[in-house]
């Protein structure tokens, strides 16, 4: 091209690559199309109902736990949403607690205390090497099933009850004036962000550090508390009471959710602890020595020097751990927690018999959720990655 | 059109291979075995013993079909299926007949591309509770927690019953009967609901069967029967009449013990049934002694019932609805003539 003599277009590698890729894509598209149309034609010939019309039909069955209002008069699409939200709930709980547990245990591996160090190793080795389904069964059928029945509940001040049917908590019911408290929470959250930015600028300017964590906590607790008192306690508590077979009222945390969350958090936490250990070990020892010679304390070295550098090793590993956690949450079906798999691929599929549509929808959900996790973690990774000279 | 685009849009991942329609009888004869979908293990209906031998009411239907086609009841290949898998397995041709305590309902019959061939057990949904509760009737169960086994019509019946009677309840759905039973035993729920035949089977599996009782209420009709693919009338006829022959044999007084003798000494009715007269087998494309083979190898319906779920079994279920029509039940087979 430089001397004006360009090769024939069919010899241009870019054009060739484009042609081959288009051909491959078209072939794949044709392949998929023929599978789908063939299946549809066959199903029609067999008199099997197809399509997504069933989503609008009344489901007619009840679900143990729902984050949105649901009863037997709702549609199959609602069962999909209920299952999806329950899956998201247990995944979020699992991700939060496994991360906390994993970081604590991973860092504990480097403790100078022999007992803490060994405890961390013991935790990782025990829970990493037992199948997660077995752990779920253990928590559900061995630990939680050993709790007393409703009449002999373990009670904390006659307000919180724990029995085999679940954990019962008092539920705050908003009265007029509650808006002030909600407002105070928002103000506190905004205040924390402002404080953080301001503290960073201040440190950049004169090197002095503010106790940001304590000030944030103070704001988050203090402001709503102040609003609560000013508005004259605009919340009443709905206490759970034993009526008939079960406790009524309040908030119920079902044992299926507890067992699944605990099992997934502890199991995934063990892998995260290993990821954290790997990340910390990847930071050259010279960094620690240099920090020490600057006079930083051990806690500070970990927090300011080691962990930020370890993050670029840890984050990509975390990504796959979180994804496994979401996928493992389908084991809920073994203990009857109403997640997407139990509700939608279980009951709804069996009521309608439309396996292909329901399985395809569910596959799409898990795929999408995991792609979103991947996206989030990749963004985080970009933030923690080593900034190199261009 | 919209339907098709929607299907296309999501891409078909669960590739159901739909083999050629019709000709199930030829396929079966070529293969040499009947492929029969049964449950993964349900006492009295389809269960596998320690030697790997299948037995049960549903298994007997498979054996009867094999006896009709091959004259040999052992030429059956059993495929254990969960409730979720069963219809897909039949639709895709993985099994030739589905005999897996499946309730015959209108929607299943009309929208899943299958045909039920008859009823081999009239069941109904009931409740099992712990005796300690002191509950005598299902109407006293307001506010109770109920354990259900997933993937059955039970969830729907339960919701309907409690709604119709203005009762509140909490339902926990488990995947297998073992998990359902374990949850009931641990006290996670007050009530276990299932088809009554299954309740009896679950009850004898409890650590203390005497501490649980089955409540008298039957809240639904559950006619359980085998099903075949829609659109293959030859095979449909064979399956339908194999089951009918078991019931008819009982009403004609033909058993596995006397069938051989009755060939010579029977009444005209019995002789027709046993294939001495007429072309009843040939009309279906199989040998004329099909019904005799079924009775000799598998026995009549009454024998199958007593052996699997009745007095000859640990379940000890009374005939009840499943007695012949002239014995106080509703079993009534179409005449073979």
DSSP for A134-163 reads HHHHIIIIIIGGGS--GGG-EEETTTEEEE
B284 at interface of A, judged by CB pairs closer than 8 A? no
B2: pLDDT strictly greater than 80: no
A361: pLDDT strictly greater than 60: yes
A47 at interface of B, judged by CB pairs closer than 8 A? yes
pTM for the model: 0.79
- Rounded Cα distance between B71 and A196, Å, is 84
Rounded to the nearest 5°, which phi and psi values hold at B227?
Answer: -135, 150
B91: pLDDT strictly greater than 80: yes
Q: What is the mean pLDDT of residues B308-323?
A: 91
B8 at interface of A, judged by CB pairs closer than 8 A? yes
Among A46, A83, A148, A362, most B C-beta atoms within 10 A, so best to mutate, is A46
Average pLDDT over chain B, rounded to an integer? 88
- Rounded Cα distance between A339 and A341, Å, is 5
Closest chain A CA to residue B230: A46
A126: pLDDT strictly greater than 60: yes
- Rounded Cα distance between A92 and A380, Å, is 17
**ipTM exceeds 0.90:** no
Say which of B3, B173, B188 has its CB closest to residue A346. B173
pLDDT band with cut points at 50, 70 and 90 for residue A164: confident
pLDDT for B7 equals: 45
Average pLDDT over chain A, rounded to an integer? 89
- Residues A314-339 have pLDDT tens digits of 999 999 999 999 999 999 988 989 99
- Look up tokens 């794949």; give the residue: A28
Q: What is the mean pLDDT of residues B202-212?
A: 87
What whole-number percentage of chain A has pLDDT above 90?
47
A213 against A360, higher pLDDT: A360
Rounded to the nearest 5°, which phi and psi values hold at A324?
Answer: -65, -40
B142 at interface of A, judged by CB pairs closer than 8 A? yes
Per-residue CA distances from A106 to A244, A261, B295 (Å): 47, 20, 69
* HSE value, Cβ hemisphere, 13 Å, CA-based, for A115: 0
Enumerate the residues of chain A whose CB falls inside 8 A of the CB of residue B115: none
Rounded to the nearest 5°, which phi and psi values hold at A328?
Answer: -65, -20
A152 at interface of B, judged by CB pairs closer than 8 A? no
Say which of A35, A45, A248 has its CB closest to residue B21. A45
pLDDT band with cut points at 50, 70 and 90 for residue A194: very high
């Amino acid at each position: 091209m430089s001397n004006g003599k360009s090769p024939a277009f069919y010899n241009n590698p870019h054009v060739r690559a484009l042609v081959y890729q288009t051909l491959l894509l078209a072939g794949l598209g044709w392949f998929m199309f023929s599978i789908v149309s063939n299946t549809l034609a066959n199903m029609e010939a067999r008199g099997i109902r197809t399509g997504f019309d069933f989503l609008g039909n009344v489901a007619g069955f009840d679900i143990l736990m729902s984050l949105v209002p649901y009863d037997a008069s709702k549609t199959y699409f609602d069962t999909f949403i209920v299952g999806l939200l329950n899956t998201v709930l247990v995944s979020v709980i699992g991700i939060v607690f496994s991360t906390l547990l994993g970081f604590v245990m991973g860092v504990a591996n480097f403790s100078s205390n022999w007992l803490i160090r060994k405890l961390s190793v013991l935790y990782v080795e025990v829970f990493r090497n037992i199948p997660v389904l077995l752990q779920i069964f253990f928590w559900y059928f061995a630990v939680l099933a050993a709790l007393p029945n409703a009449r002999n509940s373990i009670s904390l001040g006659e307000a919180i009850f724990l029995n085999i049917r679940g954990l019962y908590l008092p539920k705050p019911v908003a009265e007029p004036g509650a808006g002030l408290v909600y407002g105070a929470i928002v103000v506190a959250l905004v205040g924390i962000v402002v404080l953080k930015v301001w503290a960073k600028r201040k440190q950049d300017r004169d090197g002095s550090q503010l106790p940001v964590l304590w000030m944030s906590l103070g704001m988050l607790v203090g402001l709503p508390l102040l609003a609560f008192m000013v508005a004259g306690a605009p919340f009443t508590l709905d206490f759970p009471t034993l009526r008939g077979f079960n406790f009524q009222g309040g908030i119920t945390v079902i044992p299926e959710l507890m067992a699944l969350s605990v099992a997934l958090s502890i199991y995934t936490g063990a892998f995260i602890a290993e990821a954290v250990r790997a990340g910390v070990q990847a930071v050259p020892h010279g960094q620690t020595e240099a920090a020490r010679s600057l006079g930083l304390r051990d806690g500070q070295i970990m927090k300011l020097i080691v962990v930020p550098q370890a993050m670029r090793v840890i984050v990509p590993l975390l990504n796959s751990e979180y994804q496994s956690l979401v996928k493992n949450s389908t084991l809920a079906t073994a203990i009857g927690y109403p997640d997407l798999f139990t509700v939608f691929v279980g009951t709804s599929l069996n009521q309608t018999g439309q396996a292909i549509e329901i399985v395809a929808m569910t596959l799409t959900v898990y795929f999408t959720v995991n792609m979103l996790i991947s996206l989030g973690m990749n963004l985080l990774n970009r933030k923690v990655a080593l900034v190199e000279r261009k | 059109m919209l339907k098709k685009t929607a299907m296309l849009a999501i891409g078909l991942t669960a590739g159901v291979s739909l083999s050629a329609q019709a000709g199930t009888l030829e396929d079966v004869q070529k293969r040499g075995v009947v492929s029969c979908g049964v449950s993964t293990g349900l006492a009295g209906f389809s269960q596998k013993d320690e030697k790997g031998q299948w037995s049960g009411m549903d298994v007997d239907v498979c054996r009867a079909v094999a006896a009709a086609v091959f004259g040999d009841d052992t030429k059956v290949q059993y495929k254990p299926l969960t409730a979720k898998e069963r219809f897909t397995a039949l639709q895709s041709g993985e099994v030739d007949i589905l005999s897996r305590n499946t309730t015959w309902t209108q929607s299943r019959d009309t929208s899943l591309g299958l045909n039920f061939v008859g009823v081999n057990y009239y069941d109904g949904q009931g409740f099992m509770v712990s005796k300690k509760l002191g509950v005598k009737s299902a109407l006293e169960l307001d506010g109770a927690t109920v354990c259900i086994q997933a993937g059955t019509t039970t969830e729907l019946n339960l919701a309907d019953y409690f709604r119709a009677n203005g009762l509140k309840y909490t339902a926990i759905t488990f995947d297998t009967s073992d998990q359902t039973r374990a949850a009931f035993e641990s006290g996670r729920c007050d009530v276990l609901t299932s088809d009554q035949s299954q309740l009896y089977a679950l009850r004898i599996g409890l650590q203390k069967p005497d501490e649980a009782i089955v409540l008298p209420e039957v809240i639904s009709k559950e006619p359980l029967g085998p099903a075949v693919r829609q659109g293959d009338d030859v095979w449909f006829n064979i399956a339908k009449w194999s089951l009918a022959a078991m019931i008819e044999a009982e009403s004609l007084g033909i058993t596995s013990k006397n069938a051989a003798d009755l060939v010579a000494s029977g009444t005209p009715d019995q002789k027709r049934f046993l294939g001495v007269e007429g072309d009843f087998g040939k009309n279906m494309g199989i040998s004329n002694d099909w019904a005799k083979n079924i009775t000799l190898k598998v026995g009549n319906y009454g024998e199958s019932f007593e052996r699997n779920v009745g007095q000859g079994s640990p379940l000890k279920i009374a005939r009840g609805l499943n007695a012949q029509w002239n014995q106080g039940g509703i079993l009534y087979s179409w005449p073979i003539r």
